[in-house]
């Protein structure tokens, strides 16, 4: 199945610093989704990228999909303590019969922010 490597596994930043996490796949991805899980919480869908070279922004978060659709990144500008959590970029493994498929989670990137 599809495997996506995410780096770094851990990142500690001072509040106000920028943060970037990268996802790299050995195969071409049809799309990529990003999720955030806060400590003690559940994953929350952030965004989906579909097009080659796509860039999407959500306030301080910028998501990019590589030209070859094999990598993606999430950049957070001026981190805040509310950004703490683990960020995942799980590929979707398709199922049969028209269903949505399932997410293949890796370890993600765990972000801690020092106030």
Q: Is the omega angle on the peptide bond into residue 8 within 30 degrees of 0, that is, cis?
A: yes
- Of 16 and 52, which has the nearer Cβ to other proteins? 52
Q: Please report how close the Cβ of residue 78 comes to other proteins at its closest, in angstroms.
A: 25
> Does the footprint of other proteins cover residue 5 (CB under 8 A)?
no
The least distance separating other proteins from the CB of residue 29, rounded to whole angstroms, comes to: 13
CA–CA gap between residue 77 and residue 96 (Å, rounded): 39
Which backbone phi and psi does 78 adopt, to 5 degrees? 50, 70
- Please report how close the Cβ of residue 14 comes to other proteins at its closest, in angstroms: 27
User: What six digits make up the tokens of 41?
Assistant: 């919480």
For residues 91 and 29, the answer to whether their CB atoms sit within 8 Å is yes
x/- map, 30-49, other proteins, by CB under 8 A: -x-x-x-----xxxxxxxx-
Nearest to 85 by CA among 29, 46, 30, 33: 46
Site string for other proteins, 42-81 (x = CB under 8 A): xxxxxxx-x-------------------------------
Question: CA–CA separation, 87 vs 108, rounded Å?
Answer: 5
Q: Which residues bind other proteins (CB under 8 A)?
A: 31, 33, 35, 41-48, 50, 88, 90, 93, 95-108
């Amino acid at each position: 199945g599809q495997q996506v490597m995410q780096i770094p596994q851990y990142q500690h930043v001072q509040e106000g610093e920028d943060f970037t996490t990268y996802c790299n796949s050995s195969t071409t991805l049809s799309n990529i989704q990003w999720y955030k899980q806060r400590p003690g919480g559940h994953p929350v869908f952030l965004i989906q990228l579909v097009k080659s070279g796509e860039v999407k922004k959500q306030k301080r978060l910028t998501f990019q999909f590589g030209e070859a659709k094999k990598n993606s990144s999430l950049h957070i500008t001026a981190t805040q303590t509310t950004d703490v959590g683990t960020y995942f970029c799980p590929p979707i493994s398709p199922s049969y019969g028209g269903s949505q498929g399932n997410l293949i989670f890796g370890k993600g990137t765990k972000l801690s922010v020092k106030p």
